[in-house]
Structure 1
Amino acid sequence: MTQKKMKSVRGTLANREATPKAAMMKISNSNTTKGNQISDSKKFNLSRCQQKKKKKSIANTTRITIAKSSMFPDANNRRRRRIRNQFILAKGSIFSQQDLMWEILSRLPVRSLLRFKCVTKSWDITSDPYFQMKHQRHHANSTKFLVVHCNLNRDHNFYSTSSLSSPDDVQKLDDLPPKSHILFGSCHGLFLIGVGSSNNQVLLWNPSTRESILLPPPEFGILNSYFALGYDQTTNDYVVLTIHDDMTLTPVDPHCGILALKSASWRKVCIKTPTLFCPCRDSFGTCMVFIHGAFHWLPCGFLVVSLSISNQTLTEIPFPDQMCNRQPPNLGIKQCSLSVLEGMLCISSSWRRIDGEDTTFMLWAMKDYGVKESWIQLFKINFTGLDLGKSIYRFPDGDVLFDVYTSGEGGFCRSLRTSKGPIQLWFDWFHSFYEYSTIFDVTTFTESLISPKSLL
Structure 2
Amino acid sequence: MTHGSKRKSIIQSYVESARMTAEVFPNNNKRKKAVVSVCSLLLPDDLILEVLLRLPVKSILRFRAVCRSWAALFSSKDFLSLYMATSKPVPAPPKLLVVSPTARLDSTAVYSCSPSCPRYDLLFNFDCVGHDSVEVVMPKPCCGLNLLHDADLPAFFVFNAATRAVQRLPPYSFRGRQSSAGLGFDARTREYKVVRLILGYFPDNDSTKCEVYTPGADCWRPAAGGLPFSWTQFAASAVTHSEMNKIPPVFANGFLHWLINPCLTVRRPRAAVITFSVAEETFGCVRSPPFWTSEVHLLSWSQSEGEHLVEMENQLCIVRDLRNRIPLRSTLEIWRLLDYSSGDWSLMHRIDLFGHVERILREPQVVRVIGSVGNCGSGKKIIIATSEHKVYDKFQKKLYTYDHIHQVLETIISTTETYNMNNSFLPGSRFSLFEESLVPVHKTIEDRATSSTLAKVTKGTTAPN
TM-score by length of 1: 0.66
Q: Aligned partners of 2:428, 2:145: CA distance in 1, in Å? A: 21
Displacement after TM superposition at 1:439 (Å): 10
Q: Aligned partners of 1:259, 1:198: CA distance in 2, in Å? A: 20
Q: Aligned partners of 1:107, 1:440: CA distance in 2, in Å? A: 33
Larger radius of gyration: 1
Q: Aligned partners of 1:370, 1:160: CA distance in 2, in Å? A: 38
Structure 1 unaligned spans of 5+: 1-82, 84-93
Q: Deviations over 1:55-82 (max 9, x none)?
A: xxxxxxxxxxxxxxxxxxxxxxxxxxxx
Q: Aligned partners of 1:300, 1:355: CA distance in 2, in Å? A: 18
> Bigger relative contact order, structure 1 or 2, given CA contacts below 8 A and separation 6+?
2
CA spacing shift, 1:136–1:167, aligned 2, 3 Å: farther
TM-score by length of 2: 0.65
Q: Aligned partners of 1:331, 1:204: CA distance in 2, in Å? A: 32
Q: Pick which of 180-189 and 221-230 moved more.
A: 221-230
Displacement after TM superposition at 1:408 (Å): 7.0
Q: Does 1:102 align with 2:49?
A: yes
- The SS at the match of 2:274 is strand
Displacement after TM superposition at 1:296 (Å): 1.0
* 1:193 alignment counterpart: 148
- The alignment of Structure 1 onto Structure 2 pairs a total of residues equal to 356
Q: Does 1:405 align with 2:365?
A: no
* 1:416 alignment counterpart: 399
Q: Aligned partners of 2:280, 2:411: CA distance in 1, in Å? A: 45
Displacement after TM superposition at 1:227 (Å): 1.6
Amino acid at match of 2:227: I
Query: Is the Cα contact below 8 Å between 2:112 and 2:434 reproduced in 1?
Result: no
* 2:365 alignment counterpart: 387
Q: Aligned partners of 2:417, 2:247: CA distance in 1, in Å? A: 27
- The SS at the match of 1:333 is helix
Alignment counterpart, residue 318 of structure 1, candidates 287, 305, 326: 287
Q: Aligned partners of 2:395, 2:328: CA distance in 1, in Å? A: 14
Alignment counterpart, residue 248 of structure 2, candidates 270, 283, 287: 287
Q: Pick which of 117-126 and 172-181 moved more.
A: 117-126
Displacement after TM superposition at 1:305 (Å): 0.7
Q: Aligned partners of 1:454, 1:331: CA distance in 2, in Å? A: 41
CA spacing shift, 1:232–1:212, aligned 2, 3 Å: same
Q: Aligned partners of 1:150, 1:139: CA distance in 2, in Å? A: 36
Percent same amino acid among aligned pairs? Answer: 22
Query: Is the Cα contact below 8 Å between 2:97 and 2:433 reproduced in 1?
Result: yes
CA spacing shift, 1:95–1:287, aligned 2, 3 Å: farther
Alignment counterpart, residue 164 of structure 2, candidates 197, 210, 231: 210
Displacement after TM superposition at 1:191 (Å): 1.7
Structure 2 unaligned spans of 5+: 1-6, 8-40, 263-268, 420-426, 446-465
* 2:304 alignment counterpart: 334
Query: Is the Cα contact below 8 Å between 1:150 and 1:440 reproduced in 2?
Result: no
Query: Is the Cα contact below 8 Å between 2:110 and 2:125 reproduced in 1?
Result: no
Q: Aligned partners of 2:417, 2:215: CA distance in 1, in Å? A: 42
Q: Does 1:298 align with 2:259?
A: yes
Displacement after TM superposition at 1:355 (Å): 8.4
**Any residues of structure 2 matched to 1:12-411 within 5 Å, and which?**
97-124=44-71, 125-138=73-86, 142=92, 143-150=94-101, 156-161=108-113, 163-167=114-118, 170-177=120-127, 179=130, 180-185=133-138, 186-195=141-150, 197-221=151-175, 224-246=178-200, 248=202, 252-261=206-215, 264-269=218-223, 270-272=226-228, 273=231, 274-275=233-234, 276-282=236-242, 285-301=246-262, 303-324=272-293, 326=295, 333-335=303-305, 336-353=307-324, 359-382=330-353, 383=358, 384-394=362-372, 395-396=374-375, 397=378, 398-406=380-388
Amino acid at match of 2:145: L
